[in-house]
Amino acid sequence: MAVIKVMDEILSNKIAAGEVVERCASVVKELVENSIDAGATEIKVELQDAGTKEIKVIDNGKGMDEDDAVLSFSRHATSKITDEEDLFRLTTLGFRGEALASIASVSKVDLKTSTGELGTHVIINGGKIETVEKGDARKGTIIIVSELFYNTPARLKHMKSLYTELASITDYMNKLSLSRPDIRFSLSNNDNLILQTDGSDNTLKTIKNIYGSDVARKMLEINGENADYEIHGYISSPEVHRSSRNNMITLVNGRIVRNLDINRTINDSYHSYKPDNRYPITVIHITVDPSVIDVNIHPTKMDIKFSKMDTLLELIKESIFKVISTKNLIPEVVIRDPKPKYEEMTLNLTRDESDIKEPSVKEELNLEPKELIVNNFYFDDDKEETVTYEVDTTGDVVMENVESYNQYDEDSMPEMYPVGLVHGTYIICQNERGMYIIDQHAAKERCNYELFKKQMGNPNVASTPMLFPVTIELSNTEFMILKENMHILRDLKFNIEEFGINSVIIKEHPAWLNGDIEDTIRKIIEIVIATEKNFDIEKFNEKVATMMSCKQAIKANMNITMEEMEALVSDLRKCKNPYNCPHGRPTTIFYSNYDMEKLFKRSGFDTIK
């Protein structure tokens, strides 16, 4: 008797659904991507209870006739590819023909679609087609997926909270709207609007929609290309960062992808411009010939393989560094006035009454044609200055922020003149634009860091004999690691030799090393030992330079003379990155003349007596 049997189609679809349909966001992803592939210019996603009860997707795409509408729910049925060669020139988001069959097998589906002529209405329950009838002639598709996982209790049991499911869907829709700013997207949950874009094909405007005005104002445009890749998009100024990598968005030929190497390269490009445990906001579009990438790795199609990955990573790194290394990145302190300037603004903020605690972020405002509304923020496109309103949960305007769009257009750190020192820590400087406050420790760290990096990369640096050689004892494991990498220290002009069992002796050190020599040498050796695996000389030099720059910098609460302040400010202005210490903290902050006058209630008065 035969033991091996062929599974029926419904069972095999349920098994496939385990990879394709992981949660509510997976359903939204597959349905919305189908709408995009159908040429839709407007896509609405309407959820009930974060999608656990119902997911409805409405588009104005080309639609399907009756035969295609029925066939689309068969496994491996697709209009995207016809032969093996098509896999190497994919231009659509979907192509595997698994999504609709997998979704239908674990839910109830109601499909209405039309090509502009007589429409089709299909009802499917747990993968079985129950009804196929004529529908209306509205061009496009409306698909409703309800009671997800109702027939797979084990999957239903592991669904996350409503807030988690909604957050996941919102995150994906945010990324998708950034990938296709030319499409008008909207997302609502229980009739509360969460996201809406206008399809104006303006990426920066979409960033305002998602992240708000303050972030959008501090985004920097990047562009770059080589023989294989072309990149363009926006990256945040180093002062804007988040605790999660999730806001580092990579798009390849319009497809949202996840790639650890790309994320690592983006983050490394900000090295010493921000804290290492914080991550920038980026939206980077990568355009490449489809034959150079392989999308057919995982059913979600978010993991892809690149040919010539090294050239892509180098292009990304160069493009980002080129932008952030030529901008004035001094943070500006902005004075906020609690009194609103525009009393006529009416805001309609509502809360979802379910366990979703986030307020919906939408206003209905009637403004003149030249004015632009994005989330809780007011803009006047005719003015260089921007008036920003922040709104509390009751709908009241609570603060105003006036700031110039051109704040980050200066190409270098401006000249400034020290006038004093506060608490032996902060140098006060001024120029015609306003007042600067410099953290003397952070500034000296930056100057030391760039000096040490330069000297460590110089093979001809001089060495200094030690009057009392330093002997360092190690464990046997540490000694073996150091012995294997001793050439690194010798290249830095350390005269280091084995000295007995599990010990080394240092008789000379590079001339640029000063301060507590023995303690510094021990820390350098610790860095060598700690980086035994995947040793990278550039990262080693970074760590050593960072450690030494901090140890040898001016400390807080240490009074220095006016001449020393002037020398420090001058040295800081000569640095490649004068805006941050090696750990990413700011060296300088800025108060404009306008904001200082506002603090003292002088703004708006021509004469003050």
Task: Name every residue whose Cβ is closer than 8 Å to that of residue 522 and which is 6 or more positions away in sequence.
Answer: 472
Nearest to 309 by CA among 317, 297, 298: 317
Query: Nearest CA to 591 among 430, 443, 441?
Result: 430
Element (H or E) spanning 207, and its range?
A: helix 203-211
Task: Provide the H-helix boundaries in 45-189.
Answer: 66-71, 99-105, 153-157, 162-179
Measured CA to CA, the distance from residue 263 to residue 251 in angstroms comes to: 12
CA–CA separation, 552 vs 582, rounded Å?
Answer: 13
Contact 489, 528 (CB under 8 A): yes
178 and 263 housed in the same domain: no
Exposure b/e, 574-594, CB count within 10 A at least 16 = b? ebebbbbbbbbebbbbbbbeb
**How confident is the model at residue 299, as a pLDDT?**
53
Distance CA 23, CA 34 (A): 17
Residue 68 bridge partners (DSSP): none
Domain CATH code at residue 523: 3.30.1370.100
DSSP SS3 for 523: helix
For the chain, what is the total number of helices (H) and then of strands (E)? 17, 28
Residue 298 sits at the vertex; the CA angle it makes with 295 and 299, to the nearest 5 degrees, is 100
Average pLDDT of the residues of the chain: 78
Determine the Cα–Cα distance for residues 490 and 497; give it in Å rounded to an integer. Answer: 10
Asked if residue 561 belongs to a domain, the reply is no
- Residues 506, 472: contact at Cβ < 8 Å? yes
Alpha-carbon 42 to chain mean position:
26
DSSP-derived pairing of the beta strands 42-48 and 119-125: unpaired
> DSSP 3-state helix, strand, coil percentages of the chain (rounded to 5)?
35, 30, 40
At 61, which CATH number?
3.30.565.10
* Position 580 in a domain: no
Tokens linked to 363: 């206003």
User: 145 and 253 in one domain?
Assistant: no
Residue 52 lies in a domain: yes
In a domain, 260, yes or no: yes
> How far apart are alpha carbons 473 and 500 in whole angstroms?
9
Tell me, yes or no, whether 130 and 266 share the same domain: no
- Band of pLDDT at residue 279, cut at 50, 70 and 90: very high
Task: Specify whether 210 is located in the same domain as 141.
Answer: no
Give the pLDDT band of residue 256 (cuts 50, 70, 90).
confident
Residue 535 makes CB contacts below 8 A (sequence gap 6+) with: 485, 488
Type and span of the H or E element at 15: helix 9-20
Dihedral pair phi/psi, residue 400, rounded to 5°: -125, 145
Least confident of 372-381, 423-432, 526-535: 372-381
CATH code of the domain covering residue 212: 3.30.230.10
Higher per-residue confidence, 66 vs 42:
42
For residue 225, the enclosing domain spans 203-324
- Of 6-20, 180-194, 342-356, the one with minimum mean pLDDT is 342-356
State yes or no: pLDDT of 76 exceeds 80. no
Same domain, 14 and 32: yes
Q: Is the pLDDT of residue 7 over 60?
A: no
Per the listing, tokens 């999957």 go with: 155
Residue 452 belongs to some domain of the structure: no
What total of structural domains would you count in the chain?
A: 3
* Residue pLDDT, tens place only, 24-42: 888 999 899 889 988 999 9
Q: What are 435's two structure tokens?
A: 């007042």
Residues 68 and 166 in one domain: yes
Element housing 217 (H / E): helix 213-217
Distance from C-alpha of 499 to C-alpha of 384, rounded to nearest angstrom: 68
**3-state secondary structure at position 325:** coil
Same domain, 44 and 63: yes
Rg of the chain, C-alpha, whole Å: 30
Distance CA 404, CA 411 (A): 16
Q: Which of 300, 324, 348 is the last residue of a domain?
A: 324
Is there a contact between 283 and 178 (Cβ–Cβ < 8 Å)?
A: yes
Between 593 and 385, whose confidence is greater? 593
Question: Between the CA of residue 268 and those of 233, 308, 443, 454, what are the distances in Å?
Answer: 18, 19, 21, 19
Assess if residue 262 is contained within a domain: yes
Instruction: State how far the Cα of 272 lies from the Cα of 582, in Å rounded to an integer.
Output: 4
Name the β-bridge partners of 146: 54, 108
> Could you tell me if 142 and 218 lie in one domain?
no
- Measured at the alpha carbon of residue 235, what is the angle toward residues 232 and 239, in degrees to the nearest 5? 165
Between CA 412 and CA 409 the distance in angstroms is: 9
The strand pairing partners of 58, in sequence order, are 44, 142
Q: Are the CB atoms for 175 and 256 separated by under 8 Å?
A: yes
Regarding whether 292 and 213 lie in a shared domain, the answer is yes
pLDDT given at position 140: 93
**d(C-alpha 199, C-alpha 11), whole Å:** 40
Closest CA to 328 of 416, 211, 439: 416
pLDDT of residue 478: 85
Higher-pLDDT residue of 296 and 368 is 296
pLDDT, residue 45, reads 95
Q: In what order do the strands lie in the sheet with 417-422?
A: 417-422, 426-431, 434-439, 588-592
User: Would you say residue 329 lies in a domain?
Assistant: no
Count of positions (residues) in the chain:
609
> C-alpha angle with apex 357: 351 to 360, nearest 5 degrees?
40
Pair 175, 53 in one domain: yes
- Single residue among 196, 228, 244 that ends a domain in this structure: 196
β partners of residue 224 = 231
Shared-domain flag, residues 107 and 217 = no
CA distance linking residue 327 with residue 580, whole number of Å = 13
pLDDT tier at 169, thresholds 50, 70, 90: very high
E-state strands within 315-450: 371-374, 377-380, 385-391, 397-404, 417-422, 426-431, 434-439
Of 72-81, 213-222, 250-259, 276-285, least confident by mean pLDDT is 72-81
Does residue 20 sit within a domain? yes
The amino acid occupying position 343 is E
CA distances from residue 20 to 15, 27, 28, 169 in whole angstroms, order as listed:
9, 8, 11, 15
Contact status, residue 51 vs residue 167, Cβ threshold 8 Å = no
181 & 226 share domain: no
What sign has the CA pseudo-torsion 190, 191, 193, 199? positive
- Three-state DSSP state, 95: coil
8-12, 114-118, 341-345: segment of lowest average pLDDT: 341-345
Instruction: Indicate the residue among 324, 352, 370 that finishes a domain.
Output: 324
Assess contact for 132 and 121: CB atoms under 8 A. Answer: yes
- For 450-467, how does the pLDDT look when each residue is reduced to its tens digit (9 = 90+)? 888 888 777 667 888 888
Please name the residues in contact with 123: beta carbons below 8 A apart, sequence gap of 6 or more: 108, 109, 110, 111, 129, 130, 131
pLDDT tens for 103-118 read 888 889 999 999 988 8
